[in-house]
Amino acid sequence: MADAFEGILGQPQVRDFLRASVRSDHITHAYLFLGPAGSNKTASAYALARALLCPESRTAGGGLCGKCDSCARVGRKSHPDVHYMEPAGANGWLIEQVRDIAADVPLAPIQAARKVYILDRVDLMGTSPANAFLKTLEEPPADVVFILLGRTRDTVLPTIASRCQVVPFRHIPPSEAAGIVSQNTGAGSDQARQAIEACGGSLSEAVSFLRESGNERLGFRTRVLTMLASIDRADDWEIVEHARELVRLSRAPLDAVRAHQEREIAEHADFLEKSALRQIEARHKRRLSAKTRECLEQTIHIASSWLRDVMAVCAGTPELVINTDAAPAIHAAAAGADLARLGRALVAIEALQGMLAYNVSPETCMDMLLFEIKDGLNGTSSAS
């Protein structure tokens, strides 16, 4: 039975609860999905959005579709009535963002009978934006459903949490996570673990990483690993060139996204008003920059996973190596490396993720990534 909720991997209780809620039409206006990173909250939010917007689900007893045009659009993250937002500020949600949401909420849906707002990391919503949001959250129009995502109960402000139906997500242990990804893609367990690492722990992203047509993402990962294998011998100019190449590769998937968006605009141009089209175009722009960021983040994840492997070998625990297909290079890099210096490099590259959110240019970010790794491996530069 391939309904919209089958996409909720590793969270059987969440899946059953949401499916039952939709079938019995017990939908509340606000959900709070609480769980650690990698517990599949975002994919579950999109699954719920699919079921809520699907025109077939009402006639078919709730959520029993997953394949109509509306479901496909939500799955591609291109439905005009599903709004996904994450904190735009360095320290979390901005009060302007919350005001934008409040102004958007009363507008009628564009295509569906309902609108869904998925707000990520509400544990990063401070008191002022939260206060500006409370009224909207408390009394949204009947056709609006909020799905808020947060890490733990004590990091979400009680004023927010108390206005939502809380849905707890469990931590999925790594071996089980790899099993789930294998099952859904046919990949071996090593490859599944590598894909999960490349996607920063997200199971649903790991599944699409492995399923991507033409194995583009797998090829990208191989290229990053090849670069890393030679980085301790690369001179500064070679590193700068590598960084440019990484940026170029991170932008490659945009062509496919853009082609998709052009088709969508063409389909709608005849019957949508200018203002609605403008909304779609604005969403497309956001999607393009989000996609670039996703690819850059993947590069950082792949690099930090590789560096952790080098550390594992250095520390005498080579059995913990995840990127087994790059084992010879990892062992070679570990041979002359120093554990403390590798640790500092790892901390530095993990901080780059946050810098992407501050709109540091991709070029700068990739430069810093590669130079940090080179320093970590052989400490030739004075920066640390």
Closest to Zn ion by CB, 54 vs 195, is: 54
DSSP string, 241-289: HHHHHHHHHHHTTHHHHHHHHHHHHHHHTTTS-HHHHHHHHHHHHHHHH
Residues forming beta bridges with residue 85, ordered by sequence position: 119
DSSP string, 183-203: HHH---HHHHHHHHHHTTT-H
Report the nearest approach of Zn ion to the CB of residue 202 (Å): 24
Is 56 a binding residue for Zn ion by CB under 5 A? The answer is yes
From the list 7-15, 69-77, 170-178, 180-188, the region that binds Zn ion by CB under 5 A is 69-77
Q: How far is CA 269 from CA 207, 264, 274, in A?
A: 33, 9, 9
Residue 58's Cβ-count burial label (10 Å; 0-12, 13-18, 19+) is middle
Which H/E stretch holds residue 145? strand 144-150
Report the nearest approach of Zn ion to the CB of residue 108 (Å): 21
Closest to Zn ion by CB, 73 vs 374, is: 73
Closest to Zn ion by CB, 68 vs 102, is: 68
Report the nearest approach of Zn ion to the CB of residue 276 (Å): 21
Q: How far is CA 63 from CA 47, 165, 170, 226, 317, in A?
A: 9, 19, 23, 44, 47
Closest to Zn ion by CB, 54 vs 295, is: 54
Is 68 a binding residue for Zn ion by CB under 5 A? The answer is yes
CA atoms within 13 A on the CB side of 335: 8
Report the nearest approach of Zn ion to the CB of residue 126 (Å): 37
Per-residue contact flags (x/-) with Zn ion for residues 2 to 41, judged by CB under 5 A: ----------------------------------------
Contacts with Zn ion by CB under 5 A: the residue count is: 5
Single residue of 54, 300, 348, 373 touching Zn ion by CB under 5 A:
54
Report the nearest approach of Zn ion to the CB of residue 148 (Å): 24
Q: Angle, nearest 10°, between helix axes 174-185 and 203-211?
A: 30
Closest to Zn ion by CB, 56 vs 205, is: 56
Single residue of 45, 71, 149, 313 touching Zn ion by CB under 5 A:
71
Name the token pair of 217.
């993402």
Residue 325 carries which side chain, given as an amino acid letter? D
Closest to Zn ion by CB, 79 vs 301, is: 79
Closest to Zn ion by CB, 65 vs 160, is: 65
Q: How far is CA 193 from CA 110, 119, 174, 201, 305, in A?
A: 40, 28, 8, 9, 11
Report the nearest approach of Zn ion to the CB of residue 70 (Å): 5
Closest to Zn ion by CB, 109 vs 379, is: 109
Report the nearest approach of Zn ion to the CB of residue 269 (Å): 24
Nearest-angstrom CA–CA distance, 326 and 343: 20
Site for Zn ion in 123-182 (CB under 5 A): none
Is 65 a binding residue for Zn ion by CB under 5 A? The answer is yes
Report the nearest approach of Zn ion to the CB of residue 45 (Å): 16
Site for Zn ion in 280-309 (CB under 5 A): none
Residues that bind Zn ion (CB under 5 A): 54, 56, 65, 68, 71
